[in-house]
Structure 1
Amino acid sequence: MNRASVVVSFFNNLSALKLILSALNLQSIKDFEVVIADDGSKPEIVKDISKLLSRYSFSIKHVWHEDKGFRKNEILNKAILVSNTEYIIFMDGDCIPHISFVADHLKFAKKKRIVAGRRVMMSERLSAKVSEDFIRNKKLFSLRFFVELLLDSFIKKSRYVESALFIPISFINKLFGNYKRGVKGCNFSLYKSGLLAVNGFDMRYKLPCVGEDTDIEYRLKLLNYEVFLPKFRLIQYHLYHKLQSRDGVETNKVILAETIKNKKIKAALGINQLP
């Protein structure tokens, strides 16, 4: 029986998805499923994904809806409903997980807890080095590549390189862990029961930023959830791309402010409102 569902937010970037699936295929534990939450990729991409579904050691579900603009929260809610486990790990389609990523999330899982991590922001040059073979040969997770990241950071190309340091010692992870930092939508997990208790993600957010992390974190905290970031674990490598527009931040802040003002636990437009 699978212990976790890894939900990968996805839109059209098939090459990045293949890298992610290659890394998931190397995970130190194998009892998990993957749900691709596809926010309207092109038909040819959907067809290509169908060819990938049986290539890996884990089961894959592909949840898709038509492209009608940014509807990430809606497809995440649909992914939650099709998941077959009680624990959900969320990640973005431009972040490659460390080989201990799934095990790390499960290790620190607790009722009433959001387990959260960060990501290493790789430069364009280092991102270009990452291929399926590079991952299969575990070069991405090697000391040599960490040194490359470190040197690259000195010229301010790669960032947050300290987040690539892997120290699998629970005492240290907890001692230097953090309960005060917030959730990033690219790297967090919790029990499905918590997601259902707050009616999932709020689908009123139609633009990126805030809606898929800050909003649901706030509502879960109203139910006395804690956020815990274990140090030196939950590693992700972010593939370089141009920054997406942040035009929606102010619009989204209005929705968030209304949620905070009214102390809303359940999403106004969430899982229970899906057609």
Structure 2
Amino acid sequence: MLKASVIISIYKDVEALNAILYALSKQTEPNFEIVIAEDGDAKEVSDYLTSEPYPDLKITHVTQEDLGWRKMTAVNKAVAKAQSDYLIFLDGDCIPHFKHVESHLENSQCGKTLIGRRVFLGNVYSEQVRKDPKKIAPLQKPLYYLSKIYSLHKDKVRNYEVGFISPFLHSLYKNKFLNLVGCNFSCYLDDFKKVNGYNEELPGAGGEDDDLCHRMMALGIEMKNIKFLSPVYHLDHPVRRSQADVNVRITAENMGNGLFYCKKGLDRHL
């Protein structure tokens, strides 16, 4: 029986997807599946996956017509295809640590959503990893990572400290509230179902993760901080945000009206 379903939200970026799948092929916990939530149906993505770049990985590819930003629908469709009762979410620009699946499963709890954080790599390191995913491996070694502090900061890395897996640092920060980020969180399928998944009525890019977080918390699902236990490495790229203010307004209205189970969500695809 599969221990987890890793849901990856993507849009056309095959290089980044290749780096993510490489890291998933190196996981210390191998008993999981991957469900790719493509917000579109790009030929380059299907051609890449048809080539079976990592044949040992169990991959399901979910697509939809490219009608503009509809990440929330794509993710809900992917969750509907998941074969495990535990969900681990990644964005298509974030490469997981080789212990990512193991760490999320070790810390999983019913009624709690695990929230991790990301290291924002600069342009130089991002391009290196895109061209050769194996270059992410040395950054996961604490001494090597520490030795690269100057070059990483010169490359405008952000959240450098998140790159260290450290139970000690985690013990110092574990009680601090972290908001949900779509690139690094996990939860039980039943908890995701309680709020009907992502709200597909949100029209914009930005704020959709906050919306999910607020609705989960309103129904008693706690946010569990796992900072310093399972980092992901964010590849540099132009920011794509639009109508985030509209999303925020809709979330506030729904919260004020006690609408925590979204009307247009996961149940449309089950």
TM-score range, shorter chain: over 0.9
How many Å separate the matches in 1 of 2:136 and 2:149?
21
How many Å separate the matches in 1 of 2:175 and 2:52?
37
Q: What residue in structure 1 maps to residue 43 of structure 2?
A: 43
Gaps of 5+ in 1: none
Q: What residue in structure 2 maps to residue 80 of structure 1?
A: 79
Q: What residue in structure 1 maps to residue 106 of structure 2?
A: 107
Change (3 A) 1:65 1:247: closer
**Cα deviation, residue 254, structure 1:** 1.6
RMSD of aligned residue pairs (Cα, Å): 2.1
Change (3 A) 1:242 1:218: same
Gaps of 5+ in 2: none
Change (3 A) 1:44 1:128: closer
1:92 and 2:91 matched: yes
**Cα deviation, residue 272, structure 1:** 2.1
How many Å separate the matches in 2 of 1:112 and 1:191?
8
1:177 and 2:174 matched: yes
Change (3 A) 1:130 1:202: same
Change (3 A) 1:149 1:252: farther
Of residues 197, 202, 205, the one that matches 1:200 is 197
Matches within 5 A, 1:158-173: 158-167=157-166, 169=167, 173=170
Quick check: 1:121–1:238 contact (8 Å CA) kept in 2? Answer: yes
1:231 and 2:227 matched: yes
Q: Percent same amino acid among aligned pairs? A: 31
**Cα deviation, residue 76, structure 1:** 0.7
Of residues 249, 252, 265, the one that matches 1:254 is 249
Give the TM-score of the pair, scaled to structure 1: 0.91
Number of paired residues? Answer: 270
Q: Deviations over 1:224-270 (max 9, x none)?
A: 111111231111011111122x3311111121111111121211211
Q: What residue in structure 2 maps to residue 118 of structure 1?
A: 117
Q: Could you tell which deviates more after superposition, 260-269 or 29-38?
A: 260-269
How many Å separate the matches in 2 of 1:44 and 1:237?
23
1:241 and 2:237 matched: yes
Q: What residue in structure 1 maps to residue 206 of structure 2?
A: 209
Give the secondary structure class of the aligned counterpart of 1:180. Answer: coil
**Cα deviation, residue 79, structure 1:** 0.7
How many Å separate the matches in 1 of 2:135 and 2:10?
22
Give the secondary structure class of the aligned counterpart of 1:130. Answer: helix
**Cα deviation, residue 150, structure 1:** 2.0
Change (3 A) 1:151 1:254: same
How many Å separate the matches in 2 of 1:154 and 1:262?
45
Report the residue type matching 1:151 in the other structure.
Y
Q: Deviations over 1:115-160 (max 9, x none)?
A: 0111000000111221575527822323465136521454471110
How many Å separate the matches in 2 of 1:190 and 1:179?
19
Report the residue type matching 1:249 in the other structure.
A
How many Å separate the matches in 2 of 1:144 and 1:11?
34
